[in-house]
A and B are shown apart, each in its own frame.
Chain A
Amino acid sequence: MKPKKKVEEAIRGKLRFTAGSTFRDRLWAEVMDTHQEFTSTRPVLHELDIRRKIMRNPIAKLTSVAAVIAVAAMSLVFWGRFNTPAYAIEQTVKALQNVRCLHIIGRDEAGEISDERWIEIGEDGYQVRYRQQNPPSVIEEHPGAPSMVIEDGESTAVYRQENKAVILYDRKEMQYQWVGQLGKAFDNLLQEGKILEENSEYQGRPAHKVWWPFMSAECYVDPETKLPIAIGNTELGYEEPPADTWEITIPDGFVVVDKRPGATPTTTPDWLIAEENAGEAKGESFRQGVEALIRGDHAEAAKQLEQALGCDSWATFWLGSAYYGLGQYDLAAEYFTEMLNTMLKAFGGDVLPYCNYALGLAQARAGNLEAVTVNFQACLPTMIQTLRIPSGGKMFEYADNPRIRCGQHKPSDQEMVVKMINRLRIITGQNFGYDPARTNEQNEAAIAAWEQWFQTDSQIRFTPDAELLPVPVSSAGEQTNANN
């Protein structure tokens, strides 16, 4: 070992001064007294009494009015300088309601733009016009993906660079979206969003950090405008788009395939017919594969989902789940890895917690213990956070239970917490005594113990036979957990 390293280790390991009990207790008593003094509420009864007496005298009345005006004026002067009003999520929702244009930029792991979209939002909160541009790397990765999509409010134009074609659809029949219904997303932020940290920062910019369950991501809010500047790894802007953003133009040398009602009939190219047929077939395989997975027929699920690969990113993940169910853990790990790599490449970041978890389980079953630790460590922070913010576990549930995708199940907060505790027990071998039958207050100790463990120990110990909690059955019916 290098000598400098030894010095570093010596200081880290041996330079330790510990407060003895006398000093520790004495100081703690003083710290507590101070805290008590500075956080206690002062009684206001005397103030009422004083004001009543002053008002009996007319001169005092005038004096008090003048004093009130002076205090108010001083408050206005000092308000801006010294008092930062507390942030509330409602402010962001209100600010978003006034937004008419969204500029969305996703970056890949190298920092290059991997996803750029413009969305015009109407006063009713619905998407009016839309533009999405995919860089060549995305098209290479996903053959058949459009190079560009433009919705001008009436028509949707899908640009296919490799085929030198623009396909026109009626907007009512073909619509592209960013995260589904924006109004629903805003409503979810208002109802379920949680402030994680005020006055935090995002890439050097001051920002409030907020958990946005609909997005399954942390969102960073500009303290001035109250608007999100980033959601997960996606950056948001609100500037006006360039003038021709919504204009559908046909590049030189491109053919137009017009599929809008009433359009002059055009010949659909063979590649598009083949693609549409294949797309339909894959879509049907995906539907059947998901259904098979739900009913626990892993062999059929694997067969169908193999056929569905490429039509939906979840086909890859659930194919991994099907192989996991069949006990083919190496194959399962392969598909989970593929999902992980694809998503990280497309959206940036280092971790996709639900995917790292599934991959870790498959590797553990396959006996690849070294990789297991890395993957389980990667998903631990989100798992622990879920114990206090249940919606943090939403994607774990979605991944483990395809019934959610089919709208057949909506996990409750308690279910998400209980299942997360079960997952934690399996990957850590720890048990801190949570009981779903108890109140939140009673379970606080168990959650605090998990956090404490995470902070001080956080060692991974795959424990497949860990004692698991019974999962509360929600009104949505039985539970399915493809991985456990």
Chain B
Amino acid sequence: MLEDRLLKWKFRRGSRDALARIYEKYLDSMLTLAAGLLNDTSQAQDVVHDVFVSFAKSAPGFRLRGSLSGYLATSVVNRVRDYQRRRCRARRVGLAPPENTTATPEDTVIFTEQAGRLSQVIAELPDEQREVVLLRLTADMKFRDIAKLQQVSINTVQGRYRYGLDHLRSMLNGEVDK
């Protein structure tokens, strides 16, 4: 989009306004993507924090061919994967955090009951399908770009998307009709 093209151009030249606009424009969608992938708003905040701080560091010499939203979404996915790997390791050595954290996400992340329910259901999907469905529907990424990120063919990505939607439909069991 035209605005993103200008934002990238300005951001590369150190514009604080451009960074502010990018932050405002993409903060919530990246938070949604992270929350959907992790099914945990507290960790989603950490991921989004890391992504934006890292993005701010990249301003000098920032080069990007593709879309800004795609770039940020890819960053979110990579951070989420890091988190998931760390969480697995932590569990193996008995350092897993308690299920109910003391954080109060309501103060920091606002979401509806429906969003919470959807997030829970999406969390049931296999990782690859969850990624495809969320990248496609919350970050508007093209199948081609998702295929690059997942290092698989477009057909595989489209298959994962289809299976993901089928799973969701059966798990939601008519809830979306309401």
Residues B56 and A38 in contact, CB atoms below 8 Å apart: yes
Contact mask for chain A residues 1-20; partner B; CB cutoff 8 A; 1 contact, 0 none: 00110111111101111111
> Most chain-A Cβ atoms within 10 A of its Cβ — which of B2, B20, B63, B134?
B2
In the complex, A385 has a CB within 8 A of chain B: yes
Q: Given the complex of chains A and B, what is the CA–CA distance between A8 and B23 in angstroms?
A: 26
In the complex, A32 has a CB within 8 A of chain B: yes
Which residues of B, 63-120, contact A by the 8 Å Cβ criterion? Answer: 63-65, 106-112, 114-115, 118-119
Contacts of A31 in B (CB 8 A): 19, 23, 52-53, 55-56
Residues A197 and B5 in contact, CB atoms below 8 Å apart: yes
Residues A17 and B118 in contact, CB atoms below 8 Å apart: no
Contact mask for chain B residues 51-64; partner A; CB cutoff 8 A; 1 contact, 0 none: 01101111110011
Q: Given the complex of chains A and B, what is the CA–CA distance between A388 and B5 in angstroms?
A: 12
Contacts of B148 in A (CB 8 A): none
Residues B57 and A11 in contact, CB atoms below 8 Å apart: no
Contacts of A439 in B (CB 8 A): none
Residues B106 and A19 in contact, CB atoms below 8 Å apart: no
Residues B8 and A197 in contact, CB atoms below 8 Å apart: yes
Contacts of A30 in B (CB 8 A): 49, 53
Smallest CB gap from A4: residue in B: B165
Residues A8 and B165 in contact, CB atoms below 8 Å apart: yes
Give the shortest distance, in Å, between B164 (CB) and chain A (any CB): 9
In the complex, A34 has a CB within 8 A of chain B: yes
Residues B28 and A17 in contact, CB atoms below 8 Å apart: yes
Give the shortest distance, in Å, between B114 (CB) and chain A (any CB): 5
Which residues of A, 401-453, contact B by the 8 Å Cβ criterion? Answer: 451-452
Contacts of B138 in A (CB 8 A): 11-12, 15
Q: Given the complex of chains A and B, what is the CA–CA distance between A17 and B16 in angstroms?
A: 25
Give the shortest distance, in Å, between B2 (CB) and chain A (any CB): 6
Q: Given the complex of chains A and B, what is the CA–CA distance between A465 and B19 in angstroms?
A: 38
In the complex, B27 has a CB within 8 A of chain A: yes
Q: Given the complex of chains A and B, what is the CA–CA distance between A6 and B176 in angstroms?
A: 6
Say which one of A21-29, A114-122, A124-132, A307-315 lies at the interface with B. Answer: A21-29
Smallest CB gap from B119: residue in A: A15
Residues A455 and B3 in contact, CB atoms below 8 Å apart: yes
Contacts of B177 in A (CB 8 A): 3, 6
In the complex, A183 has a CB within 8 A of chain B: no
User: A9, A11, A38, A196: which contacts B5 (Cβ < 8 A)?
Assistant: A196
Residues A35 and B59 in contact, CB atoms below 8 Å apart: yes
Residues A17 and B115 in contact, CB atoms below 8 Å apart: yes
Give the shortest distance, in Å, between B3 (CB) and chain A (any CB): 4
In the complex, A200 has a CB within 8 A of chain B: yes
Smallest CB gap from A11: residue in B: B137
In the complex where A17-B44, A18-B28 touch, is A199 in contact with B169 (Cβ < 8 A)? Answer: no
Contacts of A28 in B (CB 8 A): 20, 23
In the complex, A84 has a CB within 8 A of chain B: yes
Contacts of B8 in A (CB 8 A): 197
In the complex, A384 has a CB within 8 A of chain B: yes
In the complex where A19-B109, A454-B2 touch, is A7 in contact with B168 (Cβ < 8 A)? Answer: yes
Contact mask for chain B residues 1-36; partner A; CB cutoff 8 A; 1 contact, 0 none: 111011011000010100110010001100110011
In the complex, B129 has a CB within 8 A of chain A: no
Residues B109 and A11 in contact, CB atoms below 8 Å apart: no
Contacts of B53 in A (CB 8 A): 30-31, 34
Residues B19 and A16 in contact, CB atoms below 8 Å apart: no
Residues B2 and A385 in contact, CB atoms below 8 Å apart: yes
- Number of residues from B at the complex interface, CB < 8 A: 57
Contact mask for chain A residues 196-212; partner B; CB cutoff 8 A; 1 contact, 0 none: 11111100001000000
Give the shortest distance, in Å, between A181 (CB) and chain B (any CB): 31
Contacts of A264 in B (CB 8 A): none
- Number of residues from A at the complex interface, CB < 8 A: 44
Q: Given the complex of chains A and B, what is the CA–CA distance between A17 and B115 in angstroms?
A: 7
In the complex, A381 has a CB within 8 A of chain B: yes
Contacts of B112 in A (CB 8 A): 14, 16
> Most chain-B Cβ atoms within 10 A of its Cβ — which of A15, A23, A384?
A15
Contacts of B166 in A (CB 8 A): 4
Q: Given the complex of chains A and B, what is the CA–CA distance between A385 and B110 in angstroms?
A: 36
Residues A23 and B108 in contact, CB atoms below 8 Å apart: yes
Contacts of A7 in B (CB 8 A): 165, 168-169, 172, 176
In the complex, B158 has a CB within 8 A of chain A: no
User: B3, B35, B63: which contacts A17 (Cβ < 8 A)?
Assistant: B35
Contacts of B165 in A (CB 8 A): 4, 7-8
In the complex, B150 has a CB within 8 A of chain A: no
In the complex, A39 has a CB within 8 A of chain B: yes
Contacts of B111 in A (CB 8 A): 16-18
Contacts of B20 in A (CB 8 A): 28
Q: Given the complex of chains A and B, what is the CA–CA distance between A14 and B176 in angstroms?
A: 10
Contacts of B133 in A (CB 8 A): 11
Contacts of A8 in B (CB 8 A): 137, 165
Give the shortest distance, in Å, between B5 (CB) and chain A (any CB): 6
Residues A19 and B28 in contact, CB atoms below 8 Å apart: yes
> Most chain-B Cβ atoms within 10 A of its Cβ — which of A6, A9, A35, A385?
A35
Contact mask for chain A residues 175-199; partner B; CB cutoff 8 A; 1 contact, 0 none: 0000000000000000000001111
Sampled A-B contacts (6; CB under 8 Å)? A11-B138, A16-B111, A19-B48, A20-B110, A197-B8, A451-B2
Q: List the interface of chain A (C-beta within 8 A of B).
A: 3-4, 6-12, 14-20, 22-24, 27-28, 30-32, 34-35, 38-39, 84, 196-201, 206, 381, 384-385, 388, 451-452, 454-455
Extra inter-chain contacts (14) besides given A19-B109, A24-B27, A197-B5, CB under 8 Å: A10-B172, A14-B118, A16-B32, A17-B31, A17-B35, A17-B41, A19-B28, A19-B108, A28-B20, A31-B23, A31-B53, A35-B14, A197-B9, A385-B2
